[in-house]
Amino acid sequence: MTHWASRWHEMSGAAKFRLYTWATLQGTLVSMILVVAITARSPWPTAAIVVAGAAAIAAVEARPELGASTSPAIRRWLLPAATVTLAAVWLAAAVVARTATGDKVVAQARVVGILTVLLAVFAVLSFLRGRWWILLGLAVATGLAFGFTARAALGIGAGILAGGLVAIGTALLTVWGLRIVDELERTKVVEAELRVAQERLRFARDLHDVVGRGFSAIAVKSELATALSRAGKSDRAAAEMDEVRTLAVESMGQMRELVRGYRGIDLLGEVGGARSLLSAAGCRMLIEGDPAAVPGRFHEVAAWVVREGTTNIVEHSAATVATLTLGAAGMSLRNDNPHTPVGERSGLRGLAERLATVGATLETTATDTEFLLEIHWGEQ
Give the per-residue pLDDT at 195: 64
Tell me which residue of 96, 101, 118, 103 sits closest to 47, measured CA to CA. Answer: 96
Beta bridge partners of 287: 324
End-to-end CA distance of the chain: 60
Q: Burial of 258 by CB count in 10 Å (0-12 exposed, 13-18 middle, 19+ buried)? A: middle
Give the per-residue pLDDT at 97: 86
Give phi and psi for 371, each to the nearest 5.
-125, 130
Give phi and psi for 320, each to the nearest 5.
-115, -25
Higher pLDDT, 257 or 355: 355
Domains defined for the chain, CATH in brackets: 2-189 (no CATH), 266-380 (3.30.565.10)
Handedness of CA 238, 244, 246, 248 (dihedral sign): negative
Give the per-residue pLDDT at 244: 78
For helices 43-61 and 72-99, the axis angle rounded to 10 degrees is: 150
The pLDDT tens digits of the residues spanning 310-326 come to 888 888 888 899 999 99
Give the per-residue pLDDT at 334: 94
User: Residue type at 158?
Assistant: A
User: Residue type at 18?
Assistant: R
Among 165-169, 246-250, 363-367, where is mean pLDDT lowest?
A: 246-250
For helices 150-230 and 299-316, the axis angle rounded to 10 degrees is: 60
Most confident of 60-74, 146-160, 249-263, 268-282: 146-160
Most confident of 33-47, 63-77, 266-280: 266-280
- Mean pLDDT, rounded, of the chain: 81
* 209 has pLDDT over 80: no
* 261 has pLDDT over 60: no
3-state secondary structure of 79: helix
The pLDDT tens digits of the residues spanning 216-244 come to 777 887 888 888 888 888 888 888 888 87
With bands split at pLDDT 50, 70 and 90, how would you rate the model's confidence at 258? low
Give the per-residue pLDDT at 332: 94
The C-alpha atoms of residue 194 and residue 156 are separated, in whole angstroms, by 56
Handedness of CA 120, 157, 47, 98 (dihedral sign): negative
How much is the pTM? 0.51
The pLDDT tens digits of the residues spanning 88-97 come to 988 988 888 8
Average pLDDT of 38-46?
78
* 133 has pLDDT over 60: yes
Give the per-residue pLDDT at 311: 82
Q: Cα torsion at 27, 33, 39, 41 (round to 10°)? A: -130
